[in-house]
Amino acid sequence: MLLEISHLTKSFGSFTAVDDLSFSVKEGEVYGFLGQNGAGKSTTIRMILSLIRPTKGSINIFGMSIEKEREKILQQVGAVVEKPDLYRYMTGYENLNVFARLSNKSISKAEVMKCLELVGLDKRAKDPVRVYSQGMKQRLGIAVALVHNPSLIILDEPTNGLDPQGIADIRNLILMLSKEQGKTLLVSSHLLSEMEQVADSMVIINKGKKLVEGRVNKLLNPDKVQLEIITDKNAMVKSLLGNSRWSEGLRNAPDQKVLVDTTADAVPLLAKYLVEHNIGISSLRSMNSLEAYFLSLTSGNEVE
Amino acid sequence: MRLSSIVYIELYKIFRKPRTYIAFGAIAAIVGLIQLGFYADGESYMKFGMQSLSDSFDVNGNIMNGYLMAFIILQTLLVHVPLLIALVAGDMISGEANQGTLRLLLTKPVSRAYLITGKFIASSIYTIVLLLWMAVWALGISIMIFGADDMLILKSDMVTQVLSSDVTWRYVAAFGFAALAMLTVSALSFFLSLFAENSIGPIMATMSIIIVFTILNTLDLPIFNMVKPYLFTSHMLGWKGFFDVTVNESNEQIIGSIENLPAVLLSAGVLFLHIIGFLFASILVFKRKDILS
């Protein structure tokens, strides 16, 4: 394992931001670190990078403890924590050069420029950062993380505040770093649809606690779907399904809709069952994406 | 990572920031104005100051010279320069926290102790450069404008004459001492900047401490007299000691003499201890600090 987190806990007074969290990241994979805003993702990442001290637990990277071998580990780690704030009075090139010098490696001007080219900022290298758009700052932040050619890259909400094109650019960059350069990436996000497209494995946390961890293809079992049904008689539908083969999959939901977990091949049967009982179906939506899975977990209804 | 590399990077950041040059501009403007004022009305000012002496002494030569100007300017500016120093030193950590760059800096393989020491050295170099700038204006340009001659220093109960041949080294020492005093302010401001997330707090706190301590120094009350020797502000004007000369039996100045060298050295020692104390406290606090900005 390249990164191993074991029973990590961080408390601020009586508030526990991260609660007994454990997960591990394998070499070469893109690891999604998912959770709603305030779930404890950034606090965990800050502990991984030794920006804050854990209350309990341990973090091992490359087989070494971050507490004991901080500088040695960080030589091989590149990170952007939350929004990438940079020196506004410096140009993009100057910013990158400053952070390159701090990486304890000999990095040439050509390598700095190559890194800017990688994130598509080579033509704006001489512009001061204060005139950069949010997307450009984000890309420069990623360049800061990449400039010393690290093995492990940690990106905290890298698509925050970006337009669709910017999000696509970051997604392509993550895939390129993983597939072409063999980097290991830990990417946190609350944009689950984005993570679904890039992550090999993931952990989902809520209120500082781990809800689920595993390979994305297993967690996103295409055979399992969640149906969102809107009818003219929702209460009756809930009652009908509660006394049918779908009773176990029935979820708590507001009055306006019915939520039920089932298998993909059972969807037509369920629709037929409702029609046969004179239910007028206004909408029947099947969700099998990570988004639905995540929502089901964080709404308090854990699934197996 | 070598400490010199961190110092270089930090100096680069300091001198790329526009606010750094406010202090240089302010010193040039204030000194220039004082020089202009004395150039225009200095003679009448000196006549007024020498009124009580003219009955007893026959004073010849260029009294209103560059050396005296430098003394007046140094006395005036050492009250204001702490603010200009706090402007940069108080921003060293809090400014980075405010911008959000502190967390990015600490994701790099730099030891926290090295980073804080590098920043401290860089802010100290800025302070020394600022003092050198002040020396160029206060002494160099004053000599160019007003010329050089023996220096007369008027005090409430006496007049001190320092021969022009014996003044230069005294100014070198005085500016060196002033640098030590300003480094103490810089170290205090730097230490305070660890606890804030914008630079206004440390700047205001530094100035407040200096003002409170200075008020304590001026109050001649037994309860405060006990603590005065330990306040760094009590020692900041120790540079004046370099201009207190001793005289021989014929009442002639002894070249190279300092009237109370132990007092000057004691003041320098107290200031130095404060600087070391603030640096070590800064390292200790920063090493344990959670970076939440």
Put simply, the answer to whether B100 touches A101 (Cβ < 8 Å) is no
pLDDT of residue B235: 93
- Does residue B269 surpass a pLDDT of 60? yes
- Of B102, B52, B126, B90, the closest CA to residue B198 belongs to B90
DSSP B138: I
How many domains in chain B?
1
How many angstroms separate the CA atoms of A139 and B215, rounded? Answer: 52
pLDDT of residue A291: 63
Residue in B with minimal Cα distance to A97: B9
Put simply, the answer to whether B104 touches A99 (Cβ < 8 Å) is yes
B4 at A interface, C-beta within 8 A:
no
Residue in A with minimal Cα distance to B2: A104
Q: Which residues of chain A make contact with B17, given a CB cutoff of 8 A?
A: 89
Q: How far does the CA of residue A153 sit from the closest CA of chain B (Å)?
A: 11
Put simply, the answer to whether A81 touches B110 (Cβ < 8 Å) is no
* Mean pLDDT value of segment B118-143: 94
* Mean pLDDT value of segment B59-63: 76
pLDDT in tens, A131-168: 999 889 999 999 999 999 999 999 999 888 788 888 88
- Note whether residue B160 is domain-resident: yes
Which range of residues forms the domain containing residue B166?
3-288
Highest mean pLDDT among A163-172, B155-164, B193-202: B193-202
Put simply, the answer to whether A98 touches B9 (Cβ < 8 Å) is yes
β-sheet bridge partners, residue A188: A33, A156
pTM over 0.95: no
Q: Which residues of chain A make contact with B292, given a CB cutoff of 8 A?
A: 46, 52
Residue in A86, A89, A104 closest to B109 by CB: A104
Residue in A with minimal Cα distance to B97: A85
pLDDT confidence tier of residue A285, bands split at 50, 70 and 90 = confident
How many angstroms separate the CA atoms of A271 and A281, rounded? Answer: 8
Q: What is the residue extent of each domain of chain A?
A: 3-216, 224-288
- Does residue B175 surpass a pLDDT of 90? yes
Q: Which residues of chain A make contact with B12, given a CB cutoff of 8 A?
A: 98
Put simply, the answer to whether B107 touches A78 (Cβ < 8 Å) is yes
Q: Using N-to-C axis directions, what is the helix angle for B112-135 and B3-16, rounded to 10°?
A: 50
pLDDT in tens, A203-216: 999 889 998 888 88
pLDDT of residue A301: 46
pLDDT confidence tier of residue B61, bands split at 50, 70 and 90 = confident
A49 at B interface, C-beta within 8 A:
yes
- Of A235, A230, A237, A226, the closest CA to residue A278 belongs to A237
A144 at B interface, C-beta within 8 A:
yes
B99 at A interface, C-beta within 8 A:
yes
Say if residue B120 is exposed, middle or buried (CB neighbours under 10 Å; 0-12, 13-18, 19+).
buried
Put simply, the answer to whether A104 touches B16 (Cβ < 8 Å) is no
Average pLDDT, whole number, for chain A?
89
- Note whether residue B219 is domain-resident: yes
Contact present, B108 and A74 (Cβ < 8 Å): yes
- Of B196, B66, B192, B85, the closest CA to residue B137 belongs to B66
A146 at B interface, C-beta within 8 A:
no
Contact present, B39 and B46 (Cβ < 8 Å): no
Put simply, the answer to whether B99 touches A85 (Cβ < 8 Å) is yes
pLDDT of residue A121: 92
Q: How far does the CA of residue A86 sit from the closest CA of chain B (Å)?
A: 6
| 3-state SS, residue A278 | coil
A83 at B interface, C-beta within 8 A:
yes
How many angstroms separate the CA atoms of B41 and B263, rounded? Answer: 36
pLDDT confidence tier of residue A304, bands split at 50, 70 and 90 = very low
How close are the terminal C-alpha atoms of chain A, in Å? Answer: 25
Q: Which fold does the domain A3-216 belong to in CATH?
A: Rossmann fold (3.40.50)
How many angstroms separate the CA atoms of B252 and B271, rounded? Answer: 33
Task: Count Cβ–Cβ pairs < 8 Å, chain A vs chain B.
Answer: 84
pLDDT confidence tier of residue A290, bands split at 50, 70 and 90 = low
pLDDT confidence tier of residue A288, bands split at 50, 70 and 90 = low
Q: What ipTM was estimated for this complex? A: 0.81
Q: Which helix (H) or strand (E) holds A170?
A: helix A164-179
B92 at A interface, C-beta within 8 A:
no
Residue in B18, B101, B106 closest to A87 by CB: B101
Q: How many C-beta atoms surround the C-beta of residue A270 within 10 A?
A: 20
Average pLDDT, whole number, for chain B?
90
Q: How many C-beta atoms surround the C-beta of residue A228 within 10 A?
A: 16
* Mean pLDDT value of segment B123-137: 94
Residue in B with minimal Cα distance to A100: B108
pLDDT confidence tier of residue B270, bands split at 50, 70 and 90 = very high
Interface test with A, best of B92, B106, B107 (most A CBs within 10 A): B107
Percentage of chain A with pLDDT > 90?
A: 60
Residue in B with minimal Cα distance to A45: B107
Residue type, position A278, single letter? N
How many angstroms separate the CA atoms of A263 and A245, rounded? Answer: 12
Q: Which fold does the domain A224-288 belong to in CATH?
A: Alpha-Beta Plaits (3.30.70)
- Note whether residue B293 is domain-resident: no
DSSP A120: T
* Mean pLDDT value of segment B46-65: 75
Q: How far does the CA of residue B183 sit from the closest CA of chain A (Å)?
A: 26
pLDDT confidence tier of residue B152, bands split at 50, 70 and 90 = confident
Residue in B with minimal Cα distance to A49: B107
